Homo-oligomer: A and B are copies of this chain.
Amino acid sequence: MTNVCATKELQGRTYRCFFELALSVMGGKWKPVVLFHLGQTGVQRYSELKRHLPEVTDRMLTRQLRELEADGLITREVYRQVPPRVEYSLTPQGLGLFPILVTMRDWGARYEAAMGGARVVCCGSEEPLKDVDLHPRYLPGGHEGIGAHE
């Protein structure tokens, strides 16, 4: 019999198992997409993220980014220039979710096939299932490149 774990609270989240904490932090309609995208692209400006998520409203995306930042999963860096440049990237905690998202993606693809395939509702391309490359910035030594985003 597995023991029942204590109920804990962290940043307004209540959970008993650690994977509940993980699911709570990474869940949300746009958060996993943002994390996955940042893992691949390294650094993104707000407008670049927005372009990748055409269906999200500014209000929604801003809110999700603020929550991800408050939860310590992404960093928001403001460069004082005119107009100001704001860039987002993964923190080490956010980076730790990237391989989990990759295995979830692979599971999702197998699951979709096992369930007989999905119905395409709207426009877009087939999701590529090639190996996902983590951006070099996140590889050991890669943090040297911070700010070198063109």
Contacts and interface: CB of A to CB of B under 8 A. Distances in A.
Interface of A: 1-11, 14-23, 25-27, 32-33, 36-37, 40-41, 51-52, 54, 72, 92-93, 96-97, 99-101, 103-112, 114-115, 117-129
B27 A27 contact: yes
A36 to B, nearest CB: 7
Contact of A121 (B2, B14, B23, B106): B14
Nearest to A110: B96
A41 B127 contact: no
A111 B17 contact: no
A36 B93 CA distance: 23
Given A3-B124, A21-B112, 9 more contacts: A2-B40, A4-B124, A6-B122, A6-B126, A7-B121, A8-B119, A10-B115, A22-B107, A25-B111
B2 A112 contact: no
14 contacts: A2-B37, A4-B52, A5-B124, A7-B120, A7-B124, A9-B121, A10-B115, A10-B118, A17-B108, A18-B106, A18-B108, A19-B101, A23-B104, A25-B111
